[in-house]
Amino acid sequence: MKFDTLIIGGGLAGLTCGIRLQQSGQRCAIISNGQSALDFSSGSFDLLSQAENGIAITNITDGLQQLAQQQPFHPYSLIGTETVLQKAAEFERLATTLALNVKQGGKHNHLRLTPLGALRPTWLSPNSVPTFADPLQPLALKKVAVLGIEGFNDFQPELLCENLKQLPHFAQWQISFGYLHIPELDHLRGDAREFRSINISQALEHKLNFTQLVNELKNAANGADTVFLPACFGLDNDDFLRQLQQTSGIHLFELPTLPPSLLGIRQHRVLEKAFEKAGGIMMKGDNALRAEIHAGNVTALYTRLNEEAALRADHYVLASGSFFSNGLAATFDHVIEPIFQLDLWYDESRSQWTHHRFSEPQPYQRFGVKINARCQAQKQGESLDNLYAVGAVVGGYDAIHQGCGSGVAVVTALHVADQILQGERA
């Protein structure tokens, strides 16, 4: 089989790159093993949330300029501040076109409320999530109820409520917590493994007494004009939550639960549908195994389902993720990129892979593929002409500590799409 571009990995980076290429007239396929970090995400997109010294970043442009001086091998530094901002703005426009239903954005971070009652800087957030300006000013009086679901342990309203009360900006808020009793979920409560956000959402959509749920919501809110709920209401979008809000007359917001997260799953489904609608081919349940490389170019790719018949393309994009999705693999004393055996940023001394304090930034988070300014992957010190690396498989940055994982994914994905399309036009 022959394609214009073959993409390995169906997560945020792979799908974003594929959508851009497919919408520009290319014939693309995505090889996906079905596992994506999107399904476990909060639903918010971080572009650059924290400086290396731990200070929160409000102005993203300033943060990128500092980063370029301090970390020359960070993907943002290689690509360049101006290009990063251009690609970020391009993703915002794409998100609007695809109806990802996100807000804020621009060149400044805002604060999102976490399920534990903390505030975290971020770039884009779902419309249904409670967000605040950064820096946060003291907030006016409001009566807020944090409501969980009886028996659902992946969201703890009492903990969120008590932590929220410790923040001085919410001193004027009257905050209480409670639980919703929903009889339609009784069949799930007997097995904790089945009592998850996805199962709850499916049960509510298909076996729901809507009027009874609205009445239960009003009673549990106890006069509150704003309610925070776990993200369990609506598997494909937040329409169900908006319907509840309109009928109950209460301002409703949702917060991500422990994985799997409905907020991330919704985004994953939207992106996947957009890629397929544009004509892209999803090769689900498959894994890339090995490749043939000649004269600095990838010439063939073999997968678990196509071990004998080679998949060929003019361009290849590695969006296989990090250790979580096996884009990187570790033995006791080595780290490898298993498909192409690419050059990596990583410390060969295993004792330097981790920090002894769990809460500190972990060095292994920076491990990944070496790229150049065009995001071409490097092998034996040379850049491969038609192989690009995007997203979490790329090295040189700490997605968690710096709060830039989803930003690197979409920026590198769109940057690579531009490199491919410009090459086609040349």
* pLDDT above 60 for 34: yes
**DSSP H or E segment with residue 89:** helix 81-97
Confidence of residue 202 (pLDDT cuts 50, 70, 90): confident
Distance CA 395, CA 367 (A): 5
| C-beta neighbour count of 358 within 10 angstroms | 7
DSSP 154: T
**pLDDT at residue 53, rounded to an integer:** 87
**pLDDT at residue 425, rounded to an integer:** 63
Confidence of residue 426 (pLDDT cuts 50, 70, 90): low
Residue with tokens 């969006």: 319
Distance CA 259, CA 248 (A): 28
The CA–CA distances, whole Å, from 388 to 18, 279, 294, 322 equal 13, 22, 16, 15
Confidence of residue 190 (pLDDT cuts 50, 70, 90): confident
Tokens of 6: 């073959």
Domains in the chain, please, with CATH? 1-38+276-327 (3.50.50.60), 42-135 (no CATH), 138-260 (3.40.50), 330-336+344-380 (no CATH)
Average pLDDT value for residue range 220-229: 96
* pLDDT above 70 for 391: yes
**Contact predicate 412/79, CB 8 Å:** yes
Task: Pinpoint the alpha helices (H) of 109-238.
Answer: 157-165, 197-206, 210-221
* pLDDT above 60 for 303: yes
**Contact predicate 199/188, CB 8 Å:** yes
**Contact predicate 387/316, CB 8 Å:** yes
Rg over alpha carbons for the chain, rounded to the nearest Å, is 23
- Per residue in 305-352, pLDDT (tens digit) is 988 899 999 999 999 999 989 999 998 889 999 999 999 998 888 888
CB neighbour list of residue 21: distance below 8 Å, 6 or more residues apart: 4, 5, 28, 417, 420, 421
CB neighbour list of residue 277: distance below 8 Å, 6 or more residues apart: none
**pLDDT at residue 389, rounded to an integer:** 98
Long-range contacts of 289-298 (CB under 8 A, 24+ apart): 289/339, 290/339, 291/316, 291/339, 291/340, 293/340, 293/379, 293/384, 296/382, 296/383, 296/384, 296/385, 297/384, 297/385, 297/386, 297/387, 298/340, 298/384, 298/386, 298/387
Provide the whole-model pTM. 0.95
Q: In 3-state terms, what secondary structure has residue 39?
A: helix
Q: Across the chain, how many H-helices and E-strands are there?
A: 11, 21
Q: Phi-psi region for residue 296, left (φ > 0), alpha (ψ -120 to 50) or beta? A: left
**pLDDT at residue 97, rounded to an integer:** 96
DSSP 55: P
Average pLDDT value for residue range 260-284: 95
- Per residue in 71-82, pLDDT (tens digit) is 999 999 999 999
**pLDDT at residue 146, rounded to an integer:** 97
Confidence of residue 61 (pLDDT cuts 50, 70, 90): very high
> DSSP secondary structure string, 287-320?
-EEEEEEETTEEEEEEETTEEEEEEEEEEEEE--
